[in-house]
Structure formats: structure tokens, C-alpha cells
């Protein structure tokens, strides 16, 4: 917001009145600018709070995904070990059946 100093024409005739009007007008403009700055600051703080919460949520989700990835890796390794045991057991059974017949 740009501040414009406005004062009545009547105040322009007297130096004291003119100065007083200018000061009052400048004071109102300054108050308006400060109020705008405060609103902008509050809006920025709200946006920052929201962004901070979103980052925290993303970090929690990232941690969950990392745990899921670890679980998947462990399950995959367990399945690989079970498959290896199944292959070994199948070979023993085939050897047993060949030797028996």
C-alpha cells in the first residue's frame, strides 16, 4: 500500500495548521502501513507454520516408507531362504525316490 498524504485545502493557508495536517495525515498513513505489515507478517507466520507441519508429516511418511522398505527387504530375504530350503528338500526327495526305485 502506498501512503498518500491528504489534507484539506483550508489547512494549506496557515503554516501551523498545514504542518499539523501533514503530521496527522502522515501518522494515519504510517499506521495503515504498519497494520498492513502486521497482517502480512501474520499471514507469513501462518504459511510458515503450515509448511513446517507439512515437512514434519513428510518426514514421518519418509520414515514409514523406509521401515516398509526394510520389511520388504527382510521378507524377500526370508522368502529366498525358504525357496533355497524347498529346493534342497526337493532334491533330497528326488534322490530318495531315484534310489528307492
C-alpha cell at 28: 494515519
Please state the domain extents for the chain: 11-100
How far is 69 from 59, CA to CA, in rounded Å?
Answer: 15
What pTM was computed for the model? 0.54
CB atoms within 10 A of CB 49: 10
- Structure confidence by residue, pLDDT tens digits, 45-66: 999 999 999 999 999 999 999 9
CB 53 within 8 A of CB 61: no
**Cβ atoms of residues 8 and 18 within 8 Å:** no
List the Cα angle 28/17/24 in 5-degree steps. Answer: 10
What is the pLDDT, as a whole number, of residue 72?
A: 97
At residue 9, does pLDDT exceed 90? no
Amino acid at each position: 500500500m502506498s501512503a498518500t498524504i491528504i489534507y484539506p485545502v483550508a489547512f494549506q493557508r496557515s503554516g501551523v495548521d498545514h504542518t499539523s495536517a501533514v503530521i496527522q495525515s502522515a501518522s494515519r498513513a504510517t499506521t495503515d502501513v504498519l497494520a498492513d505489515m502486521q497482517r502480512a507478517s501474520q499471514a507469513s507466520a501462518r504459511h510458515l507454520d503450515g509448511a513446517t507441519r507439512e515437512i514434519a508429516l513428510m518426514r514421518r511418511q519418509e520414515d514409514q516408507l523406509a521401515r516398509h522398505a526394510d520389511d520388504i527387504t527382510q521378507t524377500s530375504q526370508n522368502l529366498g531362504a525358504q525357496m533355497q530350503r524347498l529346493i534342497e528338500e526337493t532334491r533330497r526327495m528326488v534322490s530318495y525316490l531315484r534310489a528307492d526305485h
